[in-house]
Amino acid sequence: MSETPSHLAAYAVSAANTRGRAIAEPMPAERSEFQRDRDRIVHSTAFRRLEYKTQVFVNHEGDLFRTRLTHSIEVAQIARGIARALRLNEDLVEAIALAHDLGHTPFGHAGQDALNACMQDHGGFEHNLQSLRTVDLLEERYAAFDGLNLCFETREGILKHCSLVNARALGELGRRFLDDRQPSLEAQICNLADSIAYNNHDLDDGLRSGLLALEQLDEVDAFSSHIKDVRGEYPDLAGRRLIHETIRRMINAHVLDLITETRRNIASAAPRSLDDIHAAPSLVAFSAGMHVQQRSLKIFLRDKLYRHYQVLRMTNKARRIVGDLFGAFMDDPSLLPPQYQQMATAGLPRAVADYIAGMTDRYAIREHRRMFAVGEI
Ligand code: MG
């Protein structure tokens, strides 16, 4: 066992003490194990696909809306800042953040719900588990193994939730769900950095799209307290700059609150090792006040943006596209590309789900047109 580097807390994950990779590899030169994980993720095909997958708005609806790629980069930025402040492993946090959405279907949650419904009798579909499946199995880049052969701790962080049935099938990696133990603080940080990122950028995209109006946000404390400050300091500020100045303060307030509260939790739990972190309750948290603000922001976004009729129209279309494609491939597997026909020998429904989950928004739309539009070739 090597020592924890001095800049890391004693309870941080250390690259020197990683539980390793499923297939042993020599140590990387001039990089840590988690830097190598991060690099493999950035070079993966699934990572490039994130650019064309929806967060809330479908990719072609506008050039400035977040995609899964820019979302993942924002999560990494937020998570790294928190990790550094708490003397945790920044390389690991970055790897987890960049990989956390690799398994997302096209069309965001609508696509995932549709695929899950299609897979009900075949083990279901969880995007989280699919992210793990992508890095463990589906990427085809290396001579010696399928997937990216990432370190245990990176895979643990990617799998943020998991049903007990699936946890049982995952062996060591699923164990914490059965034993009710926590993942590393690095993984816990990515989880909350994810929600800081999407709450704030969905609000920004909602305003940019015109589906949300500034006046509606008077009732949302997380926003209204900051915009009041900004208007007090800059009475003439308006438009995009007013929104950005407010949202940057919101993100900052979330991050600082999380760091302060987590520090307090760490001080009172007094962990001395990574094992203490696994045994303790979840230590990365917002203060009670910020937690309430976060919740009401989430509810606002759900009611006013995710359920906006214009978003629902797209969601509805997405559901149909995914359902139609799934049905057609199940009815006639010979319509699948050869690589997936090959995979289907181990089980058709999962191979179809893998194929559909890997599609970008526009690829799925095109594939649907190719399969169903009369007169299309
Ligand atoms: Mg995410």
In residues, how long is the chain? 377
Q: What is the overall mean pLDDT for the chain?
A: 93
What pLDDT was estimated at residue 58? 63
Residue with tokens 């800049």: 7
Provide mean pLDDT across the span 100-122: 94
The confidence band for 54, taking pLDDT boundaries of 50, 70 and 90, is: confident
- Angle (CA) 366-68-347 rounded to 5° is 60
What pLDDT was estimated at residue 56? 73
Provide mean pLDDT across the span 285-305: 96
CA of 69 to the centre of ligand 1 (A): 10
Each residue's pLDDT tens digit, 202-221? 999 999 888 999 999 988 99
The answer to whether 59 and 232 are in contact (CB under 8 A) is: no
Provide mean pLDDT across the span 168-184: 94
Tokens encoding 351? 């191979």
CA of 103 to the centre of ligand 1 (A): 10
Each residue's pLDDT tens digit, 263-282? 999 999 999 999 999 999 99
The phi and psi torsions of 126 (rounded to 5 degrees) equal -120, 125
Model pTM? 0.95
| Helix/strand/coil for 268 | helix
Among 133-147, 339-353, 363-377, which is the least confidently predicted range?
A: 363-377
Q: What residue spans of the chain are helical by DSSP H?
A: 33-42, 45-49, 68-85, 90-99, 108-118, 127-133, 152-158, 164-169, 175-179, 185-209, 221-233, 239-269, 274-279, 288-301, 309-331, 338-343, 348-358, 361-372
**pLDDT(2) > 60:** no
**pLDDT(146) > 90:** yes
| Helix/strand/coil for 375 | coil
Tokens encoding 54? 């929806």
What structural domains does the chain harbor?
Answer: 34-312 (1.10.3210.10), 313-372 (no CATH)
- At residue 51, what is the residue type? E
The confidence band for 5, taking pLDDT boundaries of 50, 70 and 90, is: confident
214 burial level (CB within 10 Å; 0-12, 13-18, 19+): middle
**pLDDT(1) > 50:** no
**pLDDT(191) > 60:** yes
Q: What are the beta bridge partners of residue 21?
A: 151
- At residue 249, what is the residue type? R
CA–CA gap between residue 75 and residue 66 (Å, rounded): 12
Q: What is the dihedral of CA 160, 163, 164, 168, to 10 degrees?
A: -80
CA of 36 to the centre of ligand 1 (A): 22
CA of 216 to the centre of ligand 1 (A): 25
CA of 158 to the centre of ligand 1 (A): 10
Percentage with pLDDT > 90 across the chain:
84
- At residue 140, what is the residue type? E
**pLDDT(142) > 90:** yes
CA of 71 to the centre of ligand 1 (A): 7
| Helix/strand/coil for 162 | coil
Which comes out higher in pLDDT, residue 54 or 239? 239
Exposure pattern of 23-47 as b/e (b: 16+ CB <10 Å)? eeeeeeeeebbbbbbbebbeebebb
Provide mean pLDDT across the span 287-293: 97
**pLDDT(337) > 70:** yes
Neighbours of ion ligand 1 (CB under 5 A): 101, 194
Tokens encoding 46? 């699934």
What pLDDT was estimated at residue 377? 58
- Angle (CA) 167-33-273 rounded to 5° is 65
What pLDDT was estimated at residue 376? 60
Tokens encoding 264? 């307090």
User: Distances from the Cα of 252 to the Cαs of 160, 204, 271, 294, 320, in angstroms?
Assistant: 24, 15, 27, 14, 39
**pLDDT(330) > 90:** yes
**pLDDT(374) > 90:** no
What pLDDT was estimated at residue 63? 62
CA of 100 to the centre of ligand 1 (A): 6
